[in-house]
Chains A and B, each alone.
Chain A
């Protein structure tokens, strides 16, 4: 539903993401996901609210420190990082991708399976 008093927040969200510290974070996340900075900014603006965008840097730092400890596959895919720390992929989708990638590691080399898993995460993020 579109309310009369709803404002278009895209410009303000863009301003948050292009400040010095946030820009560094966006670049780091984009590199991790293998997408362009502009596309990631577009997704972040669409999916996250202003307070989460402001806190993006801290969540990214905490995610790198604490997410997916001890599980190399989850760590490579960013299982918790992109669901609980920075919610870009919904949990069910991530669980499916994780389960499928785990199955793929039985049939093909680990790195190839990871590459396919990451490709699906990229699609989920950009969808």
Chain B
């Protein structure tokens, strides 16, 4: 007779599927996961503490280093917070270029998130295809900013480099290639029987649970949370006619599909930006002043909030960063994984929420 035993299964901190170290302790009854507990602290940087007392010129570089995958949005939100404190206006051309770079970063982030998921469920072919396509996106990020990861592209009152017409043409040609490849990959993902078996109905999070844990980004949008994309409130995105992508399934499949759909949306936004790129300067200038404010932007994983207090020289006196992974990882551990019918689904469910431990442990 088959017996089921109650055991505590620790996953991590070093696990082949984890991108970063984190420990997940699962209390199980047979194959069923009853309770999970998360242990962090394996890569605490203390970056908020390092930022305090430093001039904004140093903090803008530190802000990017909170997360290596979505570094552009950390740069953008920090700079836009400083602009709000100091009442600095951004020239329209610079605002559009910011969107281009931010969307390229979002594409790179979503592609690596979906790569990780496919790798976790052992669909290595699709995983490698996605990673290969991500290279094209990073090449285009380098084309504009000169760097693939920590770009430091945005500065108060503008951006560092203009987009040359020949670079814009090359980027549009690359985007056509990316779009074609992505259509094929999405078809593989949507119709693959193995993927469906490991993803559909697995790691379910209801609309109410998503709201309760304040989940954000694609994780919230996959559970049908409306008005959960801060790009809806950003003036440049509004000018570009941005609309939010939402799904209602709330499972691993939906979370990945939202990210796939957002890659196509990012391609459209970049095209729209390049087609309607206003003429004019890319830097308007401005002086960072004393003040205190809280400002949020939409990172690839969701709402990213910077609360900053500065003095009259533009030094950062106090700073608090609330990253999207704080909410999403917590919801994943206490909602999506809890009640999983198989311990084998824990890793894939965890990865489906696109966890960023570096963000979580600023």
Seen from chain A, the residues whose Cβ lies within 8 Å of a Cβ on chain B are: 1, 5, 7, 9, 12, 19-21, 49-52, 54-55, 57-59, 61-63, 66, 84-85
Contacts and interface: CB of A to CB of B under 8 A. Distances in A.
A7 B13 CA distance: 12
18 contacts: A7-B41, A9-B39, A19-B320, A20-B307, A20-B320, A21-B322, A49-B37, A50-B39, A52-B330, A54-B360, A55-B326, A55-B327, A59-B214, A61-B214, A62-B212, A62-B213, A63-B212, A66-B212
A51 B41 contact: no
B43 interface: no
Given A21-B320, A58-B326, A58-B327, A50 B38 contact: yes
Nearest to B319: A20
B179 interface: no
Interface of B: 8, 10, 37-41, 44, 48, 211-214, 307, 318, 320, 322, 326-327, 329-331, 333-334, 360
A101 B194 CA distance: 53
8 nearest A-B pairs in the assembled complex, by CB-CB distance: A58-B214, A55-B330, A51-B38, A51-B330, A49-B37, A50-B40, A12-B41, A21-B320
Contacts of A12: 40-41, 44
Contact of A49 (B8, B39, B322, B326): B39
A16 B361 CA distance: 10
Nearest to B362: A19
Contacts of A5: 10
B213 A55 contact: yes
Contact of A21 (B38, B39, B214, B307): B307
B211 A66 contact: yes
Contact of A51 (B44, B211, B333): B333
Nearest to B215: A58
Contacts of B214: 55, 58-59, 61-62
Contacts of A52: 38, 330, 334
A57 B39 CA distance: 18
Contacts of B327: 55, 58
A84 B334 CA distance: 11
Contact of B330 (A20, A54, A66): A54
A52 B39 CA distance: 10
A84 B38 contact: no
A21 B326 CA distance: 13
A66 to B, nearest CB: 6
B41 A9 contact: yes
B38 A20 contact: no
Contact of A50 (B41, B212, B307, B320): B41
Contacts of B213: 55, 58-59, 62
A117 B104 CA distance: 54
Contacts of B41: 7, 9, 12, 50
A58 to B, nearest CB: 4
A101 B183 CA distance: 59
A54 B212 contact: no
Contacts of B320: 19-21
Contacts of B38: 49-52
A63 B213 CA distance: 9
A84 B212 contact: yes
A1 B39 CA distance: 17
Contacts of B8: 1
Contacts of A49: 37-39, 333
B40 A58 contact: no
A113 B30 CA distance: 45
A54 B326 contact: yes
A83 to B, nearest CB: 11
Given A7-B41, A49-B39, 4 more contacts: A12-B44, A19-B320, A50-B40, A51-B326
Contacts of A51: 38, 40, 326, 329-330, 333-334, 360
A20 B40 CA distance: 19
